[in-house]
Amino acid sequence: MEKGKKIYEGKAKILYETDSPDYLIQYFKDDATAFNAAKKGTINQKGVVNNKISTKIFEFLETKGIPTHFEKMLNDRDMLVKKVTIFPLEVIIRNVAAGSLSKILNIPEGTKLACPVLEFCYKADSLNDPMINEYHIRALGLATEEELETVKKYTFQINELMKKFFAAIGVDLIDFKIEFGKFKGKIILADEISPDTCRLWEKETGRKLDKDRFRRDLGGIEEAYQEILSRVTK
Ligand code: TMP
Ligand code: ASP
């Protein structure tokens, strides 16, 4: 596949056209941002590592029947993906309290939640991606009732699958954010799944192996991402 015109540049990735109208190339950058880009930096080799980790997770989810935009990894930083119309929604699942949930509800980080918590945020940088609920989504026409049902069904399935996937490599899946799009009328998982978009804590020690090391200046960020990569590719 030939890399064509750049059609979108986000904080961590760039999308390029290909010679097919149905496919795009998703390029993974080393750039890292936090707090709606108030904090900026780079994480050495992050693009390469996240491309590889995302590839592994998408391949795993596909084998379990979850449709994704993933086609194949083209090289270290390029992933061939289906061209979806993305829903402007961040879909978050939490298994353990951390981050913004801990802050908003004053629940200590690490508190296990009695059941997974599903949240939606509206993808709108100018508004700081505010949390919204299903009524907002329907009222604003961001997705239909039927689409929402499918998104929720896949999200809970993905959570169960990923919890097991990470548990098998000694990692607790604390929470994560995913995005969905539509391709030829079908809803499929899009974007990426990586230590940028998940909280991943080493089971034995509770050590953070994700982007919180960057957000909170904990150090050892490259090593943490490499650790996840080496475990998922073992
Ligand atoms: P939060 O606790 O900051 O709301 O984050 C919840 C999860 O979502 C965490 O795994 C990080 C991920 N996330 C993103 O991938 N992108 C974002 O813009 C935000 C705010 C969170
Ligand atoms: N991706 C988000 C941003 O730049 C934040 C995050 O992951 O914490 O701001």
Look at residue 24 in the predicted model and tell me its pLDDT: 98
Query: Cα separation of 153 and 130, whole Å?
Result: 22
Q: Quick check: CB of 67 below 6 Å from ligand 1? A: no
pLDDT tens for each residue of 161-180:
999 999 999 999 999 999 99
Q: What percent of the chain has pLDDT over 90?
A: 99
pLDDT tens for each residue of 179-223:
999 999 999 999 999 999 999 999 999 999 999 999 999 999 999
State the span(s) of the chain assigned CATH 3.30.200.20.
Answer: 6-82
Look at residue 234 in the predicted model and tell me its pLDDT: 87
Q: Which ligand is nearest to the CA of 50?
A: 1
**Token couple for 94:** 């939490």
The residues near 12 (Cβ < 8 Å, ≥ 6 apart) are 28, 29, 31, 32, 33, 46, 47, 50, 192, 196
CATH number of this structure's domain 87-220: 3.30.470.20
Taking the CA of residue 12 as reference, the ligand 2 atom at the shortest distance is 1
Q: What percent of the chain has pLDDT over 70?
A: 100
**Which residue among 28, 29, 36 is best mutated to probe the pocket of ligand 2, counting the most ligand atoms within 8 A of its Cβ?**
36
pLDDT tens for each residue of 120-159:
999 999 999 999 999 999 999 999 999 999 999 999 999 9
Q: Quick check: CB of 172 below 6 Å from ligand 1? A: no
Query: Cα separation of 224 and 208, whole Å?
Result: 8
Name the β-bridge partners of 82: 23
Measured over the CA atoms of residue 142, residue 146, residue 151 and residue 155, the dihedral's sign is positive
Per CATH, domain 6-82 is 3.40.50.720: no
State the span(s) of the chain assigned CATH 3.30.470.20.
Answer: 87-220
Name the band, by pLDDT with cuts 50, 70 and 90, for residue 110: very high
Give me the phi and psi of 67, to 5 degrees please: -75, 135
